[in-house]
Amino acid sequence: MHQETLGYIWHQVPYSSKRKPAGYRTETPTSSEADVSAFHAHISAGIATLGTDLRESAFAWDNEAPVQKVHVNAFGIDAYKVTNGHFMEFVRAGGYQAPQWWRPEDWAWIESASVAHPAFWEREGDRWFWDEYHRPGNDTWTDDARIDALVDRLRAASLRFASLWDAKDVSPFVTTRRVFDHPTAGRLELDHHRLAVLDQPGLQLVVYTAAPGSDSIDRLRG
């Protein structure tokens, strides 16, 4: 499967269905102390070969032949794909309300479909979500100047902290077991679940169920 097709399909998966694979790390060097945006490559001018030569390969897709050679001028390009965090800057700056950044046919689509952000992003209040483990800035802490000041101090003191904070890699939610000391029922062992409401994007239900093998169900009925 073509990588861009797989990426598109993944983006269309509902937010609540996305899970972070064990051991997953983002492609960008989030563990590095360097700013991802600083990775920039210069490509010299030259001849680029497009397509597949069927004399050298036994298979090619119908749109990959015949081979074409074209001259490409020198150009610069970022070494890594634009991150959701970086694209958020464009969204917050009003990029979807500024026609100068779009081709006429694209702007017509944005206006007719009332597009204000990428289709796979979901908004919950002041928070944005694009999958189960990335949460861009401006979340529920941003109104607390004390936390903003603390983050600024940590970013200034540690390049590694700044890199990890900007990457916003967050472990996915998993069902967890919690223990409560109820004033009348006593000690309760409950499993914590989070359920998505499919027809209400961003809305989630938190449900607690008695832990299997515990006497919590009897205590709750009690």
Position with higher pLDDT, 154 vs 171: 154
- Rounded Cα distance between 108 and 152, Å, is 40
Cis amide bond preceding 21, omega within 30: no
What are the residue ranges spanned by the domains of the chain? 176-221
pLDDT tens, 52-103? 888 888 888 888 888 899 999 999 998 877 877 788 889 889 999 999 999 9
Confidence of residue 211 (pLDDT cuts 50, 70, 90): confident
Identify the residue with better confidence: 141 or 3: 3
pLDDT-above-90 percentage for the chain = 18
Residue 158 tokens read as 């540690």
Task: Tell me the mean pLDDT in the region 5-16.
Answer: 75
Residue 105 DSSP one-character state: H
Q: Dump the DSSP string for 134-190.
A: B--SS-TTTT-HHHHHHHHHHHHH-HHHHHHHHHTB-PPP--EEEEEEETTTEEEEE
pLDDT tens-digit series, residues 128-163: 776 544 444 434 444 456 777 787 788 888 888 888
DSSP 116: -
**Stated length of the chain:** 222
What pTM does this model have? 0.42
